[in-house]
Structure 1
Amino acid sequence: MSNTYLTTEELSGKIKYDARTIRTRLKDSVLLEGIHYIRPFGGRKILYIWERIEKDMASPAHLDSLIAGLQ
């Protein structure tokens, strides 16, 4: 299966969230490194994996993720 990799700005356009909101509120709380995004070649650039984000957006929220979002 091939993945679609998106920059923060590209993801912003798809999910209708401001790029700054993705960087400050979603990254590392809802969108997790190694699951929803990667840092290719160990660099600073972040690429989001669209298929995994889309799958998680469509699934019902789990209690664990809701609690994690409150912390």
Structure 2
Amino acid sequence: MTEEIPTVSTFTIEDKILSIDSLSDITKAQITNLQIVDAEIQRLQQQLGIAQVATSLSPPYKLKLPSSARMQVE
């Protein structure tokens, strides 16, 4: 499922309110790309949080391995 990025008709930079319609097509595309990247960063941060919780609940030194899985040193 794709997440829709909300659109706004104005935005603020350095206390100046600007209309999206006043921007060039290239600038509009850059803003859209930044919104997409921000959404992806947020998604990846959530995934990292899930992975960190999972690894904290089961640190490798606490895993119980069957004796057949242990490496033998010769």
**Normalized against structure 2, the TM-score is what?**
0.24
- Higher radius of gyration, 1 or 2: 2
TM-score, normalised by the number of residues in structure 1 = 0.24
Higher relative CO (Cα under 8 Å, sequence separation at least 6) belongs to: 1
Q: Between Structure 1 and Structure 2, which shows a larger proportion of helix residues?
A: 2
